Amino acid sequence: MTAEKGFRSKGVSAESEDLARLFATIAVAAGALAMETFAKPDIEARLKGDKSPVTEADERVEAYLLRELEVALPGVPFLAEESVARGKTLDVNDVFLLIDPIDGTREFLARSSDFTINVALAEKGAPRAGAVYAPAQGRVWFAGALGYEAEAGPGGSLPPAQDWRPLRVRPRPADGLVALISKSHLDAETKSFLSSHQIMRSAPIGSSVKFCLLARGEADVYPRFGPTMEWDTAAGDAVLRAAGGATLDPHGAPLRYGKKDVDYRNGPFVAWADASRRDGNATLP
């Protein structure tokens, strides 16, 4: 029996919790590989075909994650950033894995602590479970039906459940929203969104950490209009949804996964902590 069928032997909630713990555990273990490169005096990088940078850490972390996932979930197809960059194609079905070994490679090269390791599983177009690990911060966020945060050193173990902090988004503040924006991709559309909403303060944050800060109740909205891929968002989106938030497309529908017709690219989206009380009826300006 393949894992794709085998992990459905439990109830949906129990399965997703098991997956979340699995993803968090292997992401934390992979963090040691990322930090080995991060600690080098000079980090070598090259440009891929899409002009984005790739480092030794991206490739080593992805190779480790894929080995561990093949053992734990044999037969489940995957969509992984560096594998796709090398020409691997994927005909996704209802269930598949999404792997972003280093989200925020530019932050990694700049010695920022915002870069993350991301593992998620999507089913029927939605992220079912995911884990986001920030090795340089020693923090991991993971979610199935419920979302949690924990402290874990790179290469260490996921702490026991009593040390996990439940994640829950906050209600919309009466005095205005805290918006999280990309450090590397602040565009005219984002500026327009900020000016047309009741934004009290905006903060530039790198990588999928933005989803996690929404999930832990530190901010209210994350607009993104520049290009992203499904592996960039799936794990953080899983964490945010489990905490009570939503990531919505221009039509106000949840961001969908498995978009083979557009090569798994995301269009514009806005991630909301309190989606029920977003400004106006439209998600985007």
> For residue 280, what pLDDT is reported?
43
60 with 123, same domain?
Answer: yes
Domain end: 136, 166, 196, which one? 166
The CATH number that applies at residue 73 is 3.30.540.10
The CATH number that applies at residue 206 is 3.40.190.80
The answer to whether position 283 is within a domain reads no
Q: Where are the alpha helices (DSSP H) in 39-123?
A: 56-72, 81-85, 105-109
Name the average pLDDT for the chain.
91
Q: Residue 277 — pLDDT band, cuts 50, 70, 90?
A: low
User: Which pLDDT tens digit goes with each residue over 119-165?
Assistant: 999 999 999 999 999 999 999 999 999 999 999 999 999 999 999 99
117 with 145, same domain?
Answer: yes
User: Which pLDDT tens digit goes with each residue over 45-90?
Assistant: 999 988 899 999 999 999 999 999 999 999 999 999 999 999 887 7
> For residue 172, what pLDDT is reported?
93
> For residue 14, what pLDDT is reported?
67
**Domain range for residue 204?**
177-277
48 with 123, same domain?
Answer: yes
> For residue 49, what pLDDT is reported?
85
273 pLDDT higher than 70: yes
> For residue 278, what pLDDT is reported?
57
140 with 264, same domain?
Answer: no
Would you tell me the crossing angle of helices 12-38 and 56-72 to the nearest 10 degrees? 150
**Token output for 219:** 């901010």
User: Which pLDDT tens digit goes with each residue over 29-40?
Assistant: 999 999 999 999
188 pLDDT higher than 60: yes
C-alpha of 250 from chain center: 20
57 with 108, same domain?
Answer: yes
146 with 246, same domain?
Answer: no
235 with 120, same domain?
Answer: no
97 sits in which H/E element:
strand 95-103
Domain end: 112, 137, 166, which one? 166
147 with 192, same domain?
Answer: no
Task: Please give the average per-residue pLDDT across 233-261, as a whole number.
Answer: 96
**How far is the C-alpha of 64 from the C-alpha of 94, rounded, in Å?**
24
> For residue 194, what pLDDT is reported?
94
The answer to whether position 59 is within a domain reads yes
Domain count, the chain: 2
Contact 272, 221 (CB under 8 A): yes
Contact 126, 256 (CB under 8 A): yes
145 with 218, same domain?
Answer: no
Domain end: 166, 190, 225, which one? 166
212 with 270, same domain?
Answer: yes
123 with 257, same domain?
Answer: no
